[in-house]
Every structure is written in structure tokens, then in C-alpha cells.
Amino acid sequence: MTDQLNNNPQALKTRDELDKRIFHLQAIYDLTAELSPLTDTQKLLDTFLLMILGTFSVGQGFVLVYDRREKIVALSDRGLEHKATLSPEFTEKLLYQCLDVSAEKTLAPMSVTNLTAPDLFKTAGLSPATEYGLMFVVDSQLMGIIGLGPRISDTDFSKVEKTLLVNYVSNFMVFLKNARSFEMIQALNKDLEQQNEQLRKTIAELTEARHKITTLEKAKAQIKMIVQAELERAGRVRILDFVLILAVAMLVGLVFNFFSPNGIPLVSESIFRPSPALIDVAEAKKIIDTGTGVLVDARPNEFYRQEHIKGAINLPPALFDFIYMMKLSKLDPKKKIIVYGRNISKRYDEEVAYRLTQRDHEDIKVLAGGLSAWSKEGYPLEP
């Protein structure tokens, strides 16, 4: 059976073909297995390039992907002698040129097309020699090109191999799309996280601000209360007001009195004088009756006129000099003089007694108990 097969060239060819198909299926399976766990565009590109280089025994090549929306150029290359830094603008232009030389000139999503003039890449600085080029379009915003150098076996790509390559690229595009989506989701997630973080910060700041406002409001209320209480207090009558007014009056009064020409001693001088000798009413009566002494009423005239001891002479301190001259100047200085007249506020008797001593009178007595003691004894009064 095996021999029969071996001898039949048709059968051999078919078997060979089948072997190749199996190999291709195996290769596609491997590619799927390799690419499926990858979510990073650059790693995906690297792995995919390695796979096609390995599968088709190519020494050098590159895969370029361009994201038009984000203006991102991703490039994976192997064996290129030098490569230019590809700006988004340049890449976009290059892709248009590729579209121009592509076999189908289409931008349909998930399409792969051969490039008829792959030496175009050379001008872009991508390769010293490109044997085979492909352009793929994932969607209107995501597209790319693949360039492959000469094969190690130095043979051309067979039709089947070209189909396989297209299958490879189609497969790759699915993963690329997924990877881009994943990246986009990640970017969105990251963005969301950042926004969340910012939101959290804002909320924290707001909370803090609210705390601050509450505190400030409390402080404001407290200050307002204090100010109002203070105003209330200021509006009311305080003990301090009286103390202040009285203290100022006292101070100004003292100062003014001290400097005034009409100033008076704060305490009557009579306090510091020796108290004059006293005489009781009975004895005084005797002296008056015998005429051996003179009785002097020292109170002001109004009081004297109201009531006085019979026979007393009115000699108030205010008019002392004048009345003394009129009535007593001719009196014998040796003659006894009895003075009376005092009240709670004024000791007229002491004052007049003092002044009489100043006038050289030798025997001056003050009536003990004064007018009231006299009248209590029932002695005569006038008027």
C-alpha cells in the first residue's frame, strides 16, 4: 500500500501537499498559541515577526503598525542594517504610498494586500533589501505594513506560502485589535483611576474645607457673642462707672482745692488745737448771775435769733473781727468769758474760744453740754 503510494507520482504530490497543509495548520495553531496570551502591542509585534521569520526562513524583516487616532508608530524589526526614526507624519505618508502600490488598493477593515513595489521601503530607510511586502488594514484608524528580506533558501514564496502568510497576518490582526482594545481599556482604566484619585483628593479637600468653615463659623458666632455681651455690658450701669466718677471727682477736687486761692483745709484746724477748758452749766450760771463773766453765743446769727441763753452776746466766727471790735474790744482781758454753741457739724465754741485767746483774753471756758444742757436745767433763755 505504501509502496503503491510511493510509486504513484500523483499520490506522492497529493501527500506532499497534505503534509504541507498539515504543517501550515500546525504553524497557524502555533501562531495562535503564541500570540493569544499577549496583550502588549510591542511584544505582539516582536513575537509575530519572529514567527514569520522562522516559518518562512527569512533572515531579516519588519512589522510596522500605525495608530492614526493616537498617532502612535510601533515597529518591530530584525536584521535591518539601519532604520530611520519614524515620525507619525512620515508613517502616514508612507502608508499612503503603500496603498498606492498595493494590489487591491483597499482600506476595508481586516484586509491584507500584497505590495507590488516593496523597494518603496528602502527609500524609507527600513531595509537594505525587501523581497516581499504586505499591507494590512485593521480598521480605518489602525493599519500597518510588513516587509520581509530574501529567504535563506533563496527561493520565492510559493502561492501556498503566500496564502499562509496572509492567514498569518489575518490572525495577527485579530490579536492586534484585541491588544489595542486591551491597551485602550487599560488606558481608560488608568484614566479612570486617576480621575478617582483626583475625586478622592477633591472630596478630602472639600471635607477639610467644610471642617474649616464649621470651625470658622463657630469662631464667628463666639466672637459675635463676646462682642454683643461686651456691648450689652457697656450699655448697662456698672459699679465701675460710679467708682470712676467718684474717684475722678475726688482727685480733681483735691488738686483744685490745693491750688485754689479759696482752698480750705480738708479737716478743720480746730481738731489739732488743744481742747479748751470746760465749765459746767451750774457754775456758769453762778458766774453769769454774779456778773463776773461774759457769756458768748458763737453760733451764726440765725440760730442766735431763734433761741439763746439770756444775756449772751452773739459772736459768730464768720463775723468775729467786726463784732469783737464793736462789743468786746473794751472788755478787761482778765475777765472770764464763757463760750457755747456747737452742733454735730460745727464747733463754733472752740473756734471762737481760740480766736479770743489770740486777742489776749486769759480766762476762757467752753460751756459743757452747750445750750441743750443749759435749757435742760431750766435756766433762762431768750427770746
Partner 1 sequence: MKFWEFAKKIPTSKYLALILRIYIGWIFIYASMYKINYAGEFAESIASYQLVPFWAVNIMAVFLPWTELICGLLLIAGIRSKAAALLIASMLVVFIIAIGINLIRGTPIGCGCFSSVEEPLNWVTLFRDIIWLAMTIHVYIYDTAFHLEKKFFMKIRDL
In the complex, the residues that contact partner 1 under the rule CB under 8 A are: 227, 231, 234-238, 241-242, 244-246, 248-250, 252-254, 256-257, 260, 262-268, 271, 300, 302-303, 305-306, 318, 343-347
Grid cell of 4 as nine digits: 503503491
Q: Within 13 Å of residue 133, how many CA atoms lie on the same side as its CB?
A: 23
Number of other residues whose CB lies within 10 A of the CB of residue 347: 22
Nearer to partner 1, 206 or 227 (CB): 227
User: Smallest distance, Å, CB 378 to partner 1?
Assistant: 22
Nearer to partner 1, 97 or 375 (CB): 375
What secondary structure letter does DSSP report for 116? Answer: S
User: Smallest distance, Å, CB 354 to partner 1?
Assistant: 14
Q: Residue 127: which residues within 8 A CB-CB, separation 6 or more? A: 60, 61, 62, 80, 81, 121, 147, 149
Measured CA to CA, the distance from residue 122 to residue 98 in angstroms comes to 12
Grid cell of 52 as nine digits: 514569520
Number of other residues whose CB lies within 10 A of the CB of residue 288: 20
Phi-psi region of 91 (alpha: psi -120 to 50; beta: other; left: phi over 0): alpha
User: Smallest distance, Å, CB 303 to partner 1?
Assistant: 7
Nearer to partner 1, 57 or 257 (CB): 257
Measured CA to CA, the distance from residue 118 to residue 102 in angstroms comes to 9
Nearer to partner 1, 79 or 263 (CB): 263
Q: What are phi and psi of 110, to 5 degrees?
A: 60, 35
User: Smallest distance, Å, CB 322 to partner 1?
Assistant: 16
C-alpha torsion 343→349→350→351, nearest 10: 100
Nearer to partner 1, 204 or 249 (CB): 249
Nearer to partner 1, 105 or 238 (CB): 238
Number of H helices, E strands in the chain: 12, 12
User: Smallest distance, Å, CB 301 to partner 1?
Assistant: 9
Nearer to partner 1, 9 or 261 (CB): 261
C-alpha torsion 173→178→180→184, nearest 10: 160
Amino acid (one-letter) located at 19: D
User: Smallest distance, Å, CB 292 to partner 1?
Assistant: 31
User: Smallest distance, Å, CB 360 to partner 1?
Assistant: 26
Nearer to partner 1, 193 or 307 (CB): 307
User: Smallest distance, Å, CB 338 to partner 1?
Assistant: 21
